[in-house]
Structure 1
Amino acid sequence: MAGFTFHDYEGFGQYAKEHYNFSQAVRVGDRIECSGQGGWKGGSASTVPDLAESLEEQIDLTFNNIDMAMKTAGGKGLSQVYRITSYHVRMQTTPKTMEYMAKSLAKWFPDYSPIWTAVGVEALGLPTMLVEIEAVAHDPKD
């Protein structure tokens, strides 16, 4: 697999690799992409993670997990992310979804606005997940 490397953070990242056969992030040259991250609070490598109860907390924890995935792949974290794709359960019936996302984007990206696509879905990978976010970053090799 020359040209790209896969990375998994401790806890749920390792659990997902072992039980679901996918990685949290991949580095391809100067680009890092992370798989869909959720609002989990952590979790050991042998358990499914605890998800935050509220949508607002899940969104915030999701950005924290993206930051962790990017750093595990050798990047500097969210400061290098230029593209976000978010998936939302009950997007049409949860009026605060876009408000919470905008608030988190302003918090996590205070110096610029990444490109963003928001998609409403019926369900996500874990039963109580309300949001899942993928991200792409540019991390130039010095």
Structure 2
Amino acid sequence: MPQPEFFATPGYGDRQLAEMRYSQAVRVGDRIEISGQGGWDDDLNFPEDLEEEIVRAFGNVGRTLATAGATWHEVIAVHSYHVPETPGFLGEVHNRVMVEQFREHLGDRAPIWTAIGVPALGAPGMRVEIRVTAVAGRSRV
């Protein structure tokens, strides 16, 4: 049985590992699971604009996947967590920008996706968090 390998995304991931004692990704064989990625910068600051926050979150997913030896093209499942614009409704911006980012990062690939509205996320001002699962060949590591 393959042993788990843990990864910290350079920058914010190193900081979270040191301060919060969690890794950004784990790889077991060809399967990669990542921690939820927000739209933060390396200093864990969030943009005011929701659209920019979602775009940054997708970028951070890509950075984290790369750290573990994968890309968006190997993603098989996406779980996204959203603080709704209006209680009970995910909102136009969340859905529109998520789909735009899927098209940009995945092309024709269409992994499974679950979007979940939540009252709050792990950091003040955070409105979106994206967690993915990927399957990537060992030759990528």
TM-score between both structures, scaled by the size of structure 2? 0.90
Deviations 1:52-73 (A, max 9, x none): 2211111111111111111111
d(CA) in 2 for partners of 1:93, 1:82: 23
User: What's the counterpart of residue 104 of structure 1?
Assistant: 101
d(CA) in 2 for partners of 1:128, 1:18: 22
Letter of the aligned partner of 2:24 in structure 1? Q
After superposition, the CA RMSD in angstroms is: 1.4
Aligned counterpart for 1:126 among listed residues 107, 123, 126: 123
Specify every segment of 5 or more residues in structure 2 that has no aligned partner in the other structure, as ranges: none
Check whether the contact 2:83–2:90 (CA below 8 A) recurs between aligned residues. no
CA offset at residue 93 of structure 1? 6.2
Q: Secondary structure at the match of 1:10?
A: coil
Letter of the aligned partner of 1:39 in structure 2? G
User: What's the counterpart of residue 46 of structure 1?
Assistant: none
Query: Greater share of helix residues, 1 or 2?
Result: 2
User: What's the counterpart of residue 8 of structure 1?
Assistant: 8
User: What's the counterpart of residue 45 of structure 2?
Assistant: 50
Aligned residues: 135
d(CA) in 2 for partners of 1:54, 1:90: 14
User: What's the counterpart of residue 84 of structure 2?
Assistant: 90
TM-score between both structures, scaled by the size of structure 1? 0.89
Deviations 1:73-113 (A, max 9, x none): 122x2111111000000252633211111111111111211
Moved over 6 A (4+): none
Q: Secondary structure at the match of 1:134?
A: strand
Letter of the aligned partner of 1:123 in structure 2? A
Q: Secondary structure at the match of 1:116?
A: strand
Q: Secondary structure at the match of 1:133?
A: strand
2:67 paired with 1:68:
no
